[in-house]
């Protein structure tokens, strides 16, 4: 059984194995009830990890007011179906139209940027990795839970999970927006290179933002420096010269489109 840790007052972190790394879910306790941020990957993750954690924290289904999906990718939303069978009255928060449609038999809400829920929690849209990527800012401690929103150079502990930001312009704008919030701590769902899963203090938070921008710059530079290479070759060159986790050719293709270097 994985250990659930109170990583900040009223914020509980639970890491769950996923392929050769881990994914993370968070429980947030407020005076108005609990929120679960993400649902891991499989039905079995709900039974093996999430339900025991709820029992340990004393969270009965009626106390779980919301389940918020950072985005609709499998390792963050895959356990949702099983969770809803156990907690059918919990409201699903997601910015994904297709996910909300798939769960229309339950209560769902579209996430609005800078929306406040449960009095203390602010939902912030951060597109880049996916169009529905959402972070949660707990305004009591100014802790930002980022899911996969902020990826820097990719995930430690594996060669297969390089940065996966395919909406560069939107992501840069989101990073600037984040700087307007009083964030004291970033807690990500994976262990991102080179800063890990946590940044504590305003200076470390700014380093994290800047690292995300540097990673975008590195991908963009790889494309502009090799205009005659196809995307697979650019990806191979990037990984060979940087030694960073594996970044897919689709990331370089997206960067190429944004700078007007369409490659037929």
- Rounded to whole angstroms, the Cα distance separating 248 from 177 reads 27
CB-CB neighbours of 177 under 10 Å: 14
The CB density around residue 36, as the number of other CB atoms within 10 Å, is 26
Q: Which of 19, 14, 17 is nearest to 52 (CA)?
A: 14
**Residues facing 108 on adjacent strands:** 92
Domain boundaries of the chain, sorted by first residue: 4-258
Rg value, the chain, Cα: 18
Average pLDDT, the chain: 95
Phi, psi values for residue 53, rounded to 5°: -65, -40
Tens of pLDDT, residue by residue over 97-144, are: 999 999 999 999 999 999 999 999 999 999 999 999 999 999 999 999
pLDDT number for residue 156? 80
Rounded to whole angstroms, the Cα distance separating 34 from 173 reads 31
Give φ, ψ of 65 to 5 degrees: -75, -40
Contact indicator for 11, 36 with CB cutoff of 8 Å: no
Which CATH code is given to the segment(s) 4-258?
3.60.15.10
Helices (H), the chain: 43-45, 51-57, 74-77, 80-86, 97-102, 168-178, 202-225, 231-242, 249-258
Can you tell me the distance from the alpha carbon of 12 to that of 34, in angstroms, rounded to the nearest whole number? 11
Average pLDDT in the 162-178 region? 96
Long-range CB contacts for residues 218-226, cutoff 8 Å, separation at least 24: 218/153, 218/242, 219/163, 219/165, 219/168, 219/247, 219/251, 219/252, 219/255, 220/168, 220/255, 220/258, 220/259, 222/252, 222/255, 223/252, 223/255, 223/256, 223/259, 223/261, 224/259, 224/261
Q: What is the pLDDT of residues 14-49, one digit of tens each?
A: 999 999 999 999 999 999 999 999 999 999 999 999
pLDDT tens sequence across 251-263: 999 999 987 766 5
Q: What pLDDT shows up at residue 4?
A: 95
> What pLDDT, in 10s, does the model give residues 194-253?
999 999 999 999 999 999 999 999 999 999 999 999 999 999 999 888 888 889 999 999
């Amino acid at each position: 059984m994985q250990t659930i840790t109170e990583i900040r007052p009223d914020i509980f972190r639970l890491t769950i194995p996923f392929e050769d790394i881990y994914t993370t879910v968070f429980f947030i306790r407020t005076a108005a009830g609990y929120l679960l941020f993400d649902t891991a990957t499989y039905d079995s993750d709900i039974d093996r990890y999430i339900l025991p954690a709820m029992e340990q924290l004393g969270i009965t289904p009626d106390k779980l007011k919301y389940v918020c999906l950072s985005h609709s990718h499998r390792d963050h939303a895959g356990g949702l179906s099983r969770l809803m069978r156990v907690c059918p009255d919990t409201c699903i928060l997601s910015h994904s139209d297709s996910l909300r449609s798939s769960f229309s038999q339950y209560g769902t809400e579209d996430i609005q940027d800078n929306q406040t829920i449960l009095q203390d929690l602010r939902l912030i849209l951060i597109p880049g990795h996916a169009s529905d990527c959402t972070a949660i800012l707990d305004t009591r401690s100014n802790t930002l839970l980022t899911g996969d929103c902020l990826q820097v150079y990719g995930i430690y502990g594996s060669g297969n999970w390089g940065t996966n930001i395919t909406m560069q312009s939107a992501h840069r704008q989101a990073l600037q927006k984040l700087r307007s919030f009083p964030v004291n701590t970033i807690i990500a769902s994976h262990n991102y290179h080179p800063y890990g899963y946590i940044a504590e203090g305003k200076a470390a938070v700014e380093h994290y933002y800047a690292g995300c921008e540097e990673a975008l710059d590195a991908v963009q530079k790889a494309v502009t420096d090799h205009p005659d290479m196809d995307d697979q070759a650019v990806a191979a060159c990037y990984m060979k010269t940087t030694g960073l986790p594996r970044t897919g050719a689709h990331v370089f293709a997206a960067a190429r489109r944004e700078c007007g270097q369409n490659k037929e």
